[in-house]
Amino acid sequence: MTAVRREPAFLGMPPFPEAAHHALADRRLRAELRDTSRTSRSRRAEAVDELPPFVWEKLRRAGAVIKDDVIARLPDHLEELEGSVVAAGGTVHWARDADEANALVIRIAREHAAAEVVGVPAATTRETGLDDALADAGIRVRATAAANAGLTVRGADFAIAETGTVCAVDADENGLRSVTLPDVLVTVLGLEQVLPAWRDLEVFLHLLPRASTGERMSPYVSLWTGVTDDDGPRGFHLILLDNGRSDVLADRMGRQALRCIRCSACLDVCPVYTRVGGQAYGSVPPGPIGAILAPQLRGVNRHDVDAQTASLPYASTLCGACFEACPVRIDIPAVLAHQRAQLTDLGRGPARHREKAAMSAARWGLAEPWRLGLAQHAAALGRHVIARMPHVLAGPLARWTDGRDAPAPPPESFRTWFKRTNGGLDEGGSRDEVPGDTDDETAEGPSATPREEP
């Protein structure tokens, strides 16, 4: 087996604390981030609150269970998907890494003598750097399918193993055009994006639009199963991309990151992301999910990684807001803690950078009283999360807690604080105004309180 190319998404990115430091100094960036994340947070809350009580929580749990089944039996689901796609007239390709996926697209383009392709921006094609690869191969890339366009390359959101159906959720009509107009349609899909059954769509078409943009349904949802006579492309290629996902799968604790449906809800609630923005993470995707996914995709526990990658698990306050927002209940704080332990254990924790991270966090936290409050609550909750996971606490994490002063018991829970101050973005309020009884709300950790309860 040939070696797998493993490079950080953005070469030469400084480790997170340094990048974050620059981002923090950018006042305009901070203001923009504050506004957009505040808007998306309230839109999302409206879309979720509109559902009858408990429906959202039940959907989240169903989503998590379905995805866990996908993860636990991934080879079977992929075999089934391949069979269904082929039966429906499509072709399935497998790509071990980004280069292989790009080479497949280039070959298909050449087979169809396409000097130009329509490339609809997608998470997977950004991940593989497809546009650059096509340019290197002398193939022009256009962003919009305006007429019968020859060949289109795009991503998708789900593929159904049972039926071979591919589902894409798009914000504008360009997505619909891209699956309808071309002669040949190439879809690049991450291995984990498979869903077992047709009816599972009912869960994810509920969860994704509401968690992603706060809409009841995304403006355009396209579903296509292989090729259809006289309607749409005559050729359909599905490229299944590994590119490190099998490494994510190898970590029992961390593999829940493969549930992610890229809704970006965790970004907008993250006190770190909403201040430093996406660039500082140097990963696709950024934010809390990027902080746990990127190190795993680059194989932190199986390969040597650079300082930037190793700094990502420290790009968090462990406050738990991302877990509450996540429509598939990925316990991001728990995975972060697990990864910090792993890095320390493997001797890969970039001690120098960790120190720096701690220092800049302290500087930032002490700058204004409310921030200190945030840090205290976060620390309290973080300890709590860890205390509930004895298997993680063993060994290295003992050191993690030993090395830190135990913060004073918080005067109010993080949840209360977060609600009251709009995630710390309404910076005016003093945290002493609403001294809540902490025990009730934090006693179960972030996972146990359904959002419908007061």
Residues 125-184 contacting another protein, CB under 8 A: 133, 136-139, 142-147, 160-165, 172-174, 176-177, 179-181
Closest CA to 256 of 416, 111, 66: 66
* Residue 313 makes contact with another protein by CB under 8 A: no
Provide, rounded to whole angstroms, the least separation between the CB of residue 265 and ligand SF4. Answer: 4
Pairing relationship of beta strands 220-225 and 91-95 according to DSSP bridges: unpaired
Sole binder of ligand SF4 in the list 151, 189, 263, 270 (CB under 6 A):
263
CB contact at 8 A, 129 and 101: no
Closest CA to 204 of 154, 212, 264: 212
* Residue 262 makes contact with ligand SF4 by CB under 6 A: yes
Query: For ligand SF4, which is the closer residue by CB, 186 or 248?
Result: 248
Give buried/exposed letters for 63-94 (b at 16+ CB in 10 A, else e).
Answer: bbebbbbbbeebeebbebbbebbeebebbbbe
**Residue 55, φ and ψ in degrees, nearest 5:** -60, -45
* Residue 228 makes contact with another protein by CB under 8 A: yes
* Residue 199 makes contact with another protein by CB under 8 A: yes
Query: For another protein, which is the closer residue by CB, 99 or 345?
Result: 99
Residues 190 to 229 in contact with ligand SF4, rule: CB under 6 A: 211
Structure tokens at 89: 């007239």
Q: Binding partner of residue 165 among ligand SF4, another protein, none, CB under 5 to 8 Å per kind?
A: another protein
Sole binder of ligand SF4 in the list 84, 193, 264, 283 (CB under 6 A):
264
Q: Binding partner of residue 260 among another protein, ligand SF4, none, CB under 5 to 8 Å per kind?
A: ligand SF4
DSSP assignments along 208-253, one per residue:
HHHHHTS-SS-SEEEEEES-BTTBS-SEEEEEEE-TTHHHHHT-TT
Closest CA to 375 of 404, 334, 344, 343: 404
Cα 285 to Cα 64, 290, 293, 391, 399, distances in angstroms:
20, 5, 8, 28, 30
Provide, rounded to whole angstroms, the least separation between the CB of residue 269 and ligand SF4. Answer: 8
Q: Which stretch binds ligand SF4 (CB under 6 A): 120-128, 216-224, 262-270, 420-428?
A: 262-270
Query: For another protein, which is the closer residue by CB, 181 or 385?
Result: 181
Q: What is the signed CA dihedral for 289, 291, 294, 296, rounded to 10 degrees?
A: -90
Query: For ligand SF4, which is the closer residue by CB, 85 or 265?
Result: 265
Sole binder of ligand SF4 in the list 258, 328, 334, 361 (CB under 6 A):
328
Q: Binding partner of residue 403 among another protein, ligand SF4, none, CB under 5 to 8 Å per kind?
A: none
* Residue 195 makes contact with another protein by CB under 8 A: no
Could you give the maximum distance between any two Cα atoms of the chain, in Å? 69
How far is C-alpha 137 from the chain's CA centre?
A: 30
Query: For ligand SF4, which is the closer residue by CB, 63 or 150?
Result: 63
Sole binder of another protein in the list 249, 257, 305, 318 (CB under 8 A):
249
Question: CA 188 to CA 151: how far, in whole Å?
Answer: 13
Query: For another protein, which is the closer residue by CB, 13 or 205?
Result: 205
* Residue 312 makes contact with ligand SF4 by CB under 6 A: no
CB contact at 8 A, 266 and 124: no
What end-to-end distance do the CA atoms of the chain give, in Å?
Answer: 55
Strand, helix or coil for residue 196: coil
Sole binder of ligand SF4 in the list 164, 182, 327, 349 (CB under 6 A):
327
Q: Binding partner of residue 266 among ligand SF4, another protein, none, CB under 5 to 8 Å per kind?
A: ligand SF4
Residues 50 to 79 in contact with ligand SF4, rule: CB under 6 A: none
* Residue 96 makes contact with another protein by CB under 8 A: yes
Question: CA 230 to CA 233: how far, in whole Å?
Answer: 8
The binding site for ligand SF4 (CB under 6 A) comprises 211, 260-266, 289, 325-328, 330
